[in-house]
Amino acid sequence: MFELTDEQKALVDAARAAAQDILGPTLKEDDEAERFRKDLFARLGAAGLCGIPTSGDYGGLGLGYFEYCLALEEIAAVSASYGVSVAVNGLPQVILGEFGNEAQKQRWMPGLAAGELLGGFALSEPGSGSDAASLRTTAQRDGDFYRLNGTKFWITHGGYADVYVLMARTGGEGPKGISAFLLPGDTPGLSFGKKEEKMGLRASPTVELILEDAKIPAENLLGREGDGFRVAMRALDSGRITIAAISVGICRASLQVASTYACQRKQFNTPIIDFQGVGFLLADMATRTEASRLLVHKAAWLRDRGLSYSEVAAMAKCFATDAAMAVSTDGVQVLGGYGYTREYPLERYMRDAKVMQIVEGTNQVQRVVISRNLRKAFGGAP
C-alpha cells in the first residue's frame, strides 16, 4: 500500500503520459469553449484507461480499484473534466459487473471498457438530489417493454453517451419502488434539454435528460424490479472513491504549480517559499494532498478485498474534496494576482474543485453517513 509494484508504477507512467499527450494540447481552449471531445475520450480508451477494474472477460484490464485510482489521479492532474468522464463511464461497468446478466454484459461492457462506447448515469432529478429515494421518473411495464417518462438533471455525457444506467419508479413510494434500467442513447422518446453553463468541469458536458414515452425492452431491466435503489447506492459508494481520487489529482496539480512558482518567484532577493507565510501554506497543501491520497488508497484497498468500505469511501470523498478546494484556493493565493488569471491553471483547478464537494453525494451527506456509523459503533442502534 505504501510502495507500488513495478506493474503499478508502469500503469502510473502510462496514464500520466497518455493524459498529457491526449488532453494537454487542447486543454485550455476546450475549457474556455466548454467543449467535450468524444474522440479524445476514445483515445484514452485505446490507451487502456477506460476499463481498468473491469474483468478481462469483458475487455477490461482486470485490475483493482486501487490501480483505477492511481490512473484517475494522473488523468485528473491534467484534466479533471476527463477524469470525471472516465469515472462516470466506469459506473455502468461496475453496475453491469454486479447486477447485469450475461447478455447485458456481453452487449455493453467490452465497448465501454475500450472507450469505443460512452456510458452515463441518470439518478438525479429536479426535485430529487440528496434525497434520491424521492425520484419521480416512472417506468411502466407494457408487455415486453417498459415506457419511461420523466426528467433527469445533472447528467454527465447527456446527449453523448451510448448507454445510460437510469433509475425509475416501477412501484410505490420510497426506495423499494425504484428499479434500474439500461437506456440506449438512441432510444425513441429520449431527448435532451439545456446544457448547463458551469463554473468548472467545463469540458465535461452536463445536460438535462427528458423521457417522453421512451420505450425500451423489458430485458433492459438490471436485476429485478425494486433493486434500483440498491444499485444506485452501490454505484455511489464506488463513485465516491473515484471522485476522491480525482480530487487528489487536483490537489497534486495545484501543489506542483504553486511550489514551482514559489521556488522561482523572488521578492526582496529571496524565493518566496523561504518566507514562512508562503512556505507554511505550501506545507499544509502538501499534507492535505498526502492525507487525501492515503484515505483514497485505503478505501480502494478495502473494496478490492471485498471488505466493508462504505464509511471509508465517505471519509475519503469528504476529506479529499474539501482538500482539493482548500489546496487549489491556497495555490491561487501563493501566486497572488497571477493565480487569478488564466495565464496559470490554478484558477481552473479551483473552479473544478468546487463541484467535487457536491457530486456523488454532498459532503454534508458524507458527514451524515460517517456520523451514523459512529452512532452504531459507540451508541448502539437507535
For 109-139, the pLDDT digits (tens) are 999 999 999 999 999 999 887 788 889 999 9
Coil, helix or strand for 358?
coil
pLDDT at 128: 84
Work out the percent of the chain whose per-residue pLDDT is above 90: 95
| In the predicted structure, residue 165 carries a pLDDT above the cut 90 | yes
Task: Give 45-104 pLDDT, tens digit per residue.
Answer: 999 999 999 999 999 999 999 999 999 999 999 999 999 999 999 999 999 999 999 999
pLDDT, averaged across the chain: 96
Q: Are 292 and 316 in contact (CB under 8 A)?
A: yes
* 168-173 long-range contacts, CB within 8 A, separation 24+: 168/135, 168/137, 168/138, 168/139, 168/228, 169/135, 169/136, 169/137, 169/138, 169/139, 170/138, 170/139, 170/140, 170/141, 170/146, 170/225, 170/226, 170/228, 171/225, 171/226
User: Residues 73, 125, 347, 360: which is the catalytic one?
Assistant: 360
Decide if 8 contacts 65 (C-beta within 8 A): no
- Specify whether 360 is catalytic: yes
Q: Tens digits of per-residue pLDDT, 264-295?
A: 999 999 999 999 999 999 999 999 999 999 99
Residue 108 CA, distance from chain mean position:
20
CB burial string 140-151: b at 16+ within 10 A, e below: eeeeebbbbbbe
Task: Report if pTM > 0.85.
Answer: yes
Query: In this predicted structure, what is the pLDDT of residue 129?
Result: 75
Over range 232-248, report the average pLDDT: 96
Query: For the residues of 250-318, what is the DSSP string, one character each?
Result: HHHHHHHHHHHHHHH-EETTEEGGGSHHHHHHHHHHHHHHHHHHHHHHHHHHHHHTT---HHHHHHHHH
Query: H/E element holding 213?
Result: strand 206-217
Domains of the chain: 6-117 (1.10.540.10), 120-225 (2.40.110.10), 230-378 (1.20.140.10)
